[in-house]
Amino acid sequence: MLIGIDWGYDGAAELGTPPRLYNQIIQIIAIARNNSTDQNVRLFALINATMGDAGIMPGIRNTFMIYGDPF
């Protein structure tokens, strides 16, 4: 049984979700810079951690706006 489809975008072919698109762009930049594997691991970890934080913060902000600051 299918409940839902996350990131169900019907945009351009091979575009994908925003994080996938951003990772594709970073991959192009990493190739152009001739990064080592260690540099790529660090680069992608930082970029994806930042994207995760950017996705979490609006929910935290909205929770505080609705229920008030717990501190």
**SS3 annotation, 4-70:** CCCCCCCCCCCCCCHHHHHHHHHHHHHHHCCCCHHHHHHHHHHHHHHHHHHHHHHHHHHHHHHHCCC
**40 is written with which tokens?**
């790529």
pTM (2 d.p.)? 0.62
26: Cβ–Cβ under 8 A, 6 or more apart, which residues? 43, 44, 47
pLDDT tens digits along 18-63 = 788 888 899 999 999 999 999 999 999 999 998 888 877 777 777 7
Domain spans of the chain?
37-71
